[in-house]
Structure 1
Amino acid sequence: MTSVDGRTDTRGAAPGTPAPPGTQRPWRAFALLAVAYFMTAVDLLIVNVALPTLGTKLHFAESDLQWVVTAYAITFGGFLLLGGRTADLLGRRRMFTAGLALFTAASLACALATSGTFLIVMRGLQGLGAAAVLPAALSIVMNMFPEGAERNKALGIWGAVGASGATFGVLAGGALTRYAGWPYIFYLNVVIGGVALLLVRRVVPESTVVPEGGQLAAGRRYDPLGAVTVTGALVLAVYAISQAPTVGWTAARTLVLLASAAVLLAAFVVVEARAQAPLLPLRLFRLKTLAGSNAVGFLLGASFYGYIFIGTLYMQQVLHYSAMTTGLAWLTVGLTGVVLAGPAQILVTRASVRLVMAAGMTLTGAGILWATQAPAHGGFLANLAGPFFLTGTVTWVFIPVSIGALVGVTERDAGIASGLIDSSQQLGGAIGIAVASTVAAARSRAMLGHGRAAADALTGGFHQALWVCGLVGLAAVPVALLLVRGLSNTEAGTEAEAATALPD
């Protein structure tokens, strides 16, 4: 069978036809894709502990430092859906390669930056490259492994990679900043990305949506109005939320931007309901497990990324940990997540997505709330080791969320479904960090106004923000139990039939 762009799909191929790369050794291809995913996940937080150094070396104004993180988050979260659908239509390996090349080139430019403005622009291009890499990579993984135990194993490892990427990013940022210098945060991407680009055509298979009837024109119909409205809505929403802690949640600029994002999102829904080839087929939301997994993924991003952000500030500003020490502390979360990845994958296969997801969010939320007891003059072993080890169970959420978001999804929608779950987590993270920052700052200012010491005021603000993060995490538990179904081939097939039997 031939794909839209003339590449051969091994399913149904004539006997004796050489198999495309990656189809005979899918785990080798998976390893390369997972490394690329890990690289983009690490880059979300790798610069956090280096921000003070960047500010000094590149002469950043204090108020502009956040843009080093925000520029990446805006383009990353804003273009994920578009990246996923483009990968479906143009070829997933092709899109993965293009995104990886852009990400690697932008990383090199970041390392060579001599001004803050140039660094911020290049960070935005990094995010754009990551928005192409992630959904393409995940949809390739989905299509390399048939639904069932083998795919669950692959997606289990994939979820563990995502869970550990954020915490290892903080560690890598601290180590490289201290021992090599801040440019090596980005040189690391250049080395990994360059090697991956050399190997990708050898080990990763191409896959492209084959339209019904094999019509090229039908298979490559685009939805430009849908792309403009949803990308505009996501970019405006992420930008408004990221700036709200600085300009105020009730400021006119924040309200106008959020209202504009809402209008564009409403327009997107109307467009998708009427489009012949929609960017995001609304029938996907008839898959109850997909919809529930995305809802949990959003709450997971809001709680866990906000927790890492606040926890990093607490260790550096209150306990006065160095960047390296902060990174080593977070390593406990990452290592716990890696150890629990295997049991999580087994439980998902033998029990259900819903139960593992709910258990993971319960333990993660409880760990975050435990961290609210850390005092202003505490220590790691006495006050942080327990909460950090417990929140390592976040792997038990990342893994079932990754699996549940693709249950019953057909090959033609693999890219967009992958982009959707990535978007949910990234938008959740942007909102969670912004809300946590606002809560912490407001509480700290109030305590300072009442004459409290600076360390006590900062700690009080961080505690209140962690309460919010923990409660958001626990709120995902009933969502998982009510909206997510158990993972079985029968249920997946039933959901897929229900989704595809009706028009978009």
Structure 2
Amino acid sequence: MSDQTEQPHRHKDHSLTVILFVIATAQLMVVLDASIVNIALPSMQRELHFSSASLEWVINAYALAFGGLLLLGGRLRDLYGRKKLFVIGIVIFTLASFSGGLATSQLWLISARVVQGIGGAIASPAALSLVTDNFPEGKPRAKAMGVYAAMSGAGAALGLLLGGILTDFGSWRWVMFVNVPIGVVLSIVASKVLHKSDTKTGGLDLPGAISVTLAATLLVYGLSHASTSGWRSTVTEVTLASSVVLWIAFFFIESRSTHALVPLRILANRNRSGALALMLSIGASLFGMFFFLTLFIQDFLRYSPLKAGFAFLPVSIAIVVAAGATSQLVTRFGPRVFLLVGPFVAAIGLVLLTRITPSSTYLTGVLGPMLVLAIGAGMTFVPLTLTAVAGVAKTDGGVASAVLNTTQQIGGSIGLAVLVTVSRTAAANKVTSLVHRAIASSPTHSISALTQAALVSKATISGFDAAFWASAIIAILGFVVVVVFIRVKRDDLDLEGATLPL
């Protein structure tokens, strides 16, 4: 008798283990893809002839599509079922990864990254909901949520290392191809083991999703175009003006829609609005740090992709350790003190990065400032998430967390566009000044190709330094937001309703 009762129990445990493996692996694949490409950027730039301005689109194409459609993905999940949307999202992501690995042009690769972001935006909200659908309350669900959160946290670190290994021993194409076998297995297994979920009735806020995604995309494009063609360019002016119009249209649509992606009542709370503004600054700082330091470490320090991946590993460790320590302390001291200290510490790290020169080494110029920035960011994430969901109605808890994730992705994209524009402008001005000075001081009024290359390198580093200064200012603005807007107290926290940013 006992054998008969234990057998179904063992079968159920086995089924839940497979389900958890599917959900956690899918989340890892989506989160990992945001960082795995960073290490491969210099290789992509050389093979597909990206300029420094167009290279940012390899990152921003994914982030804008993922962030812009994440809320819509959550709504689709509720209307058409978690399992169905999860499998569809994984299939789209997998096909886009395969296409991206075959890319022979910039447009091809960037388009594939957009489709990857769409697939991720569909699969990721469904993955989190599948945990609650398939695991009963209590220890099973708590364990599953712990594994899910661990995959989200480990994704960045694993992405950097895996990106280095694949690019070093294969090519940049394998950072795309690696998703294909994983995605195929996941989609097949998921269709067999996941339980179907109930669906809801209602409508889709397609106008809201389209307007916010286009508004962010046009803003990023306008900023990027300004770095190459100037602020008075007709394309720059029209693009930025169109972005402003679309942002206004988005908020107008949300105020009238019965199925709004972002119910404006969520933004009425000053603590939550302040938290979202702070996430914009932290997202911009981290996107910028990874982008510029990846180029510096591989192009100037001449690190291989694998060595560069290991060079960034301390950042991921510092963020995880700082976030873990803060999560233990925030219930005692409240979130505001960490929201004040975190951005300020991050700004100090960014200021220290402005001291990088062409002769800097990893140990003397990069590691220390990078760790300071990582500790500041890690101190901020947990209290920021708790503040964003503090006091929100239970029916809006999921939306508040999703808006925070969306803000991180879109804010990072916009911030990176601003920083690349600052960097390119500063570098162009610097190289013009250096070349004119060198020619004027030369007896022959000319300079050799070798001298010109050295001046370009020096100007490029000057551009990086300018970007780090701008990023530090953005972090300080986040600090100011906390001082002015955020008044959350320890008693206001919802310690069970928050999920950390993706």
With the shorter chain as reference, the TM-score category is: 0.7 to 0.9
Q: Which deviates more, 301-310 or 161-170?
A: 161-170
2:490, 2:133 → 1: CA distance?
18
Shift of 1:381: 1.5
Specify the alignment match of 1:299 in structure 2: 281
Shift of 1:103: 0.9
Instruction: State the one-letter code of the partner of 1:318.
Output: F
Identify the match of residue 461 of structure 2 among 449, 459, 462: 459
2:96, 2:69 → 1: CA distance?
16
Say yes or no: does 1:448 pair with 2:438.
Answer: no
Specify the alignment match of 1:124 in structure 2: 114
1:156, 1:346 → 2: CA distance?
16
Deviations 1:87-133 (A, max 9, x none): 34333444333222211221122224455543332222101112223
Q: Which has the larger radius of gyration?
A: 2
Shift of 1:351: 3.2
SS at match of 2:434: coil
Q: What are structure 1's unaligned runs of at least 5 residues?
A: 1-17, 211-218, 496-504
2:272, 2:14 → 1: CA distance?
29
Shift of 1:333: 0.5
Contact (CA 8 Å) 2:72, 2:205: kept in 1 or not? no
Identify the match of residue 93 of structure 2 among 86, 94, 103: 103
1:205, 1:22 → 2: CA distance?
13
SS at match of 2:36: coil
Equivalent positions of 1:422-441 (< 5 A) are 422-441=405-424
Q: 1:181 to 1:224 in 2, by over 3 A?
A: closer
Equivalent positions of 1:275-290 (< 5 A) are 275-290=257-272
2:13, 2:236 → 1: CA distance?
49
2:20, 2:469 → 1: CA distance?
38
Specify the alignment match of 1:14 in structure 2: none
Equivalent positions of 1:119-198 (< 5 A) are 119-138=109-128, 165-166=155-156, 168-198=158-188
Higher RCO (CA-CA < 8 Å; seq separation 6+): 1
Q: 1:354 to 1:137 in 2, by over 3 A?
A: farther
2:109, 2:409 → 1: CA distance?
21
Specify the alignment match of 2:344 in structure 1: 362
Identity of aligned residues (%): 36
Q: 1:464 to 1:114 in 2, by over 3 A?
A: closer
SS at match of 1:373: coil
Instruction: State the one-letter code of the partner of 1:455.
Output: S
Q: 1:294 to 1:155 in 2, by over 3 A?
A: farther
Contact (CA 8 Å) 1:357, 1:401: kept in 2 or not? yes
Equivalent positions of 1:29-68 (< 5 A) are 33=23, 35-55=25-45, 57=47, 65-68=55-58
Contact (CA 8 Å) 1:76, 1:127: kept in 2 or not? yes
Instruction: State the one-letter code of the partner of 1:307.
Output: M
Specify the alignment match of 1:470 in structure 2: 472
Aligned residues: 469
Q: Which deviates more, 452-461 or 182-191?
A: 452-461
Contact (CA 8 Å) 2:99, 2:112: kept in 1 or not? yes
Contact (CA 8 Å) 1:353, 1:484: kept in 2 or not? no
TM-score by length of 1: 0.79
Contact (CA 8 Å) 1:58, 1:114: kept in 2 or not? yes
Contact (CA 8 Å) 1:60, 1:116: kept in 2 or not? yes
Identify the match of residue 207 of structure 2 among 225, 229, 242: 225
* Larger proportion of helix: 2
Q: 1:490 to 1:91 in 2, by over 3 A?
A: farther
1:204, 1:82 → 2: CA distance?
22
1:406, 1:30 → 2: CA distance?
26
Q: 1:354 to 1:208 in 2, by over 3 A?
A: farther
Shift of 1:302: 1.1
Q: Which deviates more, 401-410 or 261-270?
A: 401-410
C-alpha RMSD of matched pairs (Å): 4.0
Identify the match of residue 400 of structure 2 among 383, 405, 417: 417
Instruction: State the one-letter code of the partner of 2:477.
Output: A
